[in-house]
Amino acid sequence: MVDVSPEPAPSAAIDETVPSVARAYDAALGGKDNYAVDRALLAQLDAAVPEVRSIALTNRAFLIRAVRFLCYHAHIDQFLDCGSGLPTAENTHQIAQRLNPEAEVVYVDNDPVVLAHGRALLEENDYTHFIAADIFRPEQVLENAVVRSRLDFDRPLALLQVATLHHHGADEGLHPVEVMRRYIDALPSGSYVVFSHFLDPENEDSALAQRVQGILNAGISRGYFRTRAEIEEMLVGLDLVDPGIVVADDWWSDGPRLGELPAAARCIVAAVGRKP
C-alpha cells in the first residue's frame, strides 16, 4: 500500500534532505512527522534486519506499561522524561494523566527536529512542559528552572531514560555510567528510573546487533548495543523491580506470548528500578 499522507510542513530549523533518527523512529511507530528521507533510512534498516521495527514497537509498549505501573502501583505523580522524541500515540503525559489528571510531566530534548515539532503537541495542558536541554549533561537538565519549579525534589519522582543512553558513546563527554550516576544521585529516596537500552546478547543474536550498530554509526546517528554487564553498571544504586533487566517484551507483559520473539526484539532490554 502506498503512503499518500502529506509531508510534514518543513521548518527553517530542519534540513528535510537529511534523515533523522527521531523521525525514522516516528515512521516505525506509524507517525506522520517524517519525510521520505527518513522512511528511506527505515527501509535501509529493514533490509538489513527485517524485524527492526519491532525494536521501536517493543520499546514504546514497555514505556506504556512502565508508566502505568508507576502511576497505579507506585503512586508516582511526577515524571522527568529525558529524550522525549517526537510526539506519537501514547506519550508519557497521556498515559500518566489518564490515571491521574494532575500528574506533572516535564519532557526534555535538544534534537532540532523534536524542538520544531514537539513543543506545541506535548505542552497541551498546565501539567505538561517541555524544555530544550542536553540529556547527556545531567546538570543542564537538573538545574533547569522549569524542572526545579514543576517537579518537587522533596518527593519521589520518576526519571525516564527510555532508549536514550544507547545513542551516547563512552567517548562523547561523560561516560554513560557517569551520566546515569549523576541523575540517580540527584533523585530523592523512593524515586524510580525507567530504562531501556540496545543489548548485545553475546550469543547468536550478536551478529544482528552489530549489523544494526554498523548502519547507525556509519550514517546520521550513534547506536551502541552494550552487554548486560555494561547495562547493569548504569543502574547501580537502584533496587530493580521484578523481573529485573529483561528483554523489553518480557517486562510486565500484557499477556501470554503466542509466538517466538523476533531476533531484533531480543536485542533491547528494559528495567525499572527504585532508589532506596
pLDDT score for 8: 41
Q: Which residues, 6 or more positions from 42, have their beta carbon under 8 angstroms from its beta carbon?
A: 24, 27, 28, 52, 53
pLDDT score for 212: 84
At what angle are helices 53-72 and 92-99 packed, to 10 degrees?
30
Region label for 244, one of left (φ > 0), alpha (ψ between -120 and 50) or beta (otherwise)? left
pLDDT score for 85: 78
Residue 164 main-chain phi, psi, to 5 deg: -110, -55
Among the residue ranges 7-21, 87-101, 199-213, the one predicted with the least confidence is 7-21
Q: How many residues does the chain have?
A: 276
Whole-structure pTM value: 0.86
In the structure grid, which three cell numbers stand for residue 154, read together? Answer: 522533596
- Average pLDDT of the chain to the nearest whole number: 87
Q: What is the pLDDT of residues 98-126, one digit of tens each?
A: 999 999 999 999 887 778 777 777 888 99
Q: Which residues, 6 or more positions from 66, have their beta carbon under 8 angstroms from its beta carbon?
A: 160, 162, 194, 251, 252, 270, 272
Report how far residue 190's alpha carbon sits from residue 66's, in angstroms, rounded to the nearest whole number.
Answer: 16
**pLDDT over 70, % of the chain:** 89
In the structure grid, which three cell numbers stand for residue 43, read together? Answer: 527501509
